[in-house]
Every structure is written in C-alpha cells, then in structure tokens.
Amino acid sequence: MRRRINHTLRGDATSLSRVTLNRNRFFVGLWLVGFINGSLVYLVTGLRENSALYNVLNTFEISAIVWVSIAVGCAYLFKQSESKNSRRDVGLAIAISFAFLIPITALSWVAVSVLSAYLIVTSPGDSYAKRGAWILFTVTVPMFWSRVIFSVLSEHILQFDAILVSNLLDTERAGNAVAFADGSGYLWIAPGCSSLMNVSLAVLCGTVFSQMWPRKRPLQSISLVAFAAAAVVMINAVRLALIGTYPQYFETLHGSVGATVTDLLTLIALVSICSFGVRNELKAK
C-alpha cells in the first residue's frame, strides 16, 4: 500500500513539473499587469470623460507607437523558449507583485522597469528574449521616465522649446513665453506643449526598429534615434510657430484638430526615418 502511495506521489510531482509555466510567458504576464496598473489612471479617465469611439480612435490617450511596441516586445519574448523559473525569478516576481499592490502609480512603473532590466540581463546573447526585453524597457520611457525627467528639468526644457519657436518667429522671448508675430501678445508654452513627449516616442520607435532589424554598429542606432528626435522636435516647434504667426486660429491649431494633425505627422516622420535608417537590414531580410 505504501509503495503504491509513494508511486502515486512521484507521478503527481512529475506531472506538476511538466506544467511549469514558461519563464518568459510568466514574466510577460507580470509585465502586462504592471503596465495596466500604471496606466489605469489614463484608461479610467478616458472611459469616464470620452465616448468609446473616441477612446478607440485615440488609442486611449496612449500613443499607437506604445501599443505596437508592447505587441512586438511580448511577441519576441514568446519566441524565445525558456524552461522553468529559478528561485531568483520567483523571488523577484513576489517582490514586484507586492509593489503592484501598493496604490502608487510611480512604484508600478519602477517595478516594470526593474523587471524589464532583469530580463535584459538574464536573457542570453542576441536572443529574441533580450531584444523583446529592451523594447519593453523602452516603453517605460514615454509612459513614465520622460515625465520624471520633465518634473526635474521642466524649466530648461520649456525654455529650449521657447528658444526654437522664438527663432522661427524672429520675435522676443521672456522665459517660456514668446511674442506673437504681430506683436499682439505672447504665446506661453505650457508643459503640455513640450516636445519631450515626442522625443521619448522617437527613442521608443528607434529602439523597436533597431531591435527588429539589428544593426552592426551601436552608433548607427544612436544616430537613428537622434535624427528621429530632432525631426519630431521641429514638427512640434513649427506647430507652435504657426500658433504664434496666426493667433486668430489658436483654437484650431492648439485644439484637437492641430493635435491630431501633429500626432499624425509625428507618426509618419518616425516610421519613415526609422525605416530609412534600417533600409540595408530590411533589404537583407
């Protein structure tokens, strides 16, 4: 009887080991929980204040580049076959899960960043898992870290935007306020008008293209991101300069119409520049 029980217990243990959750899938699930936890404020606000159609068309106030990047990053992690979770993996997962339970949005983003960095460090070589982890880590840049940087350097960033607009309009500047071209008043560049958010999207888009079509020299990837960032900064500056040139059309240029056109131009510019940057790798494929 004892032998039969022992044999049954061994069989159960063996069957349990066979259903051990795939490491990368386990961490992708945990990462998505953290992303939803950190983005819940935007999602709930969008659902409360806008219609379902508006939320879908505006991708819940989160850039389409972010959504596509998440899909690519998760898909790359799924491609890499991993076996069991180690004790270190389980320990990290428990710690991160506790961080998600604390009702502090910033803590969720820090935990997601740590998880992504851990996957980068522990994934082998130039594997799909490492490349996917890099993409997921960079997602946190526009979603969280760019806001942290802005909160620390907002004065300098807004003044930089004001200098660009002032030079385009050839008018005087006082801090982050730029005189209208007709001298009728001043355009105050608010935090929401900063180009930093678009720069963070350029970093993300460049990272996605560089990880999907790896380049031999890291400097090439850096220059690609820099060029894309410069392009989106100029798009934002031109929009603000148009507001300064035609203040009578402020509501149109600054409102939803102007924002939608700017977002579309930014998306086209980023995809075009990044595609051109990896053209040789695309041809090789």
Rounded to whole angstroms, how far apart are CA atoms 118 and 30?
13
Per-residue model confidence as pLDDT tens for the chain (285 residues): 444 434 433 443 343 334 456 899 999 999 999 999 999 887 888 788 877 777 787 788 899 999 999 999 999 999 976 667 889 999 999 999 999 999 999 999 999 999 999 999 999 888 999 999 999 999 999 999 999 999 999 999 999 999 999 999 999 999 999 999 999 999 999 998 999 999 999 999 999 999 999 987 778 889 999 999 999 999 999 999 999 999 999 999 999 899 889 999 999 999 999 999 998 888 776
Rounded to whole angstroms, how far apart are CA atoms 76 and 62?
22
pLDDT single digits (tens) 121-167: 999 888 999 999 999 999 999 999 999 999 999 999 999 999 999 99
Angle (nearest 5°) at CA 111 between 127 and 137: 35
Per-residue pLDDT, 84: 73
Per-residue pLDDT, 125: 86
Rounded to whole angstroms, how far apart are CA atoms 171 and 184?
12
Rounded to whole angstroms, how far apart are CA atoms 116 and 138?
9
Cβ partners under 8 Å of residue 203, min gap 6: 138, 141, 142, 225, 229
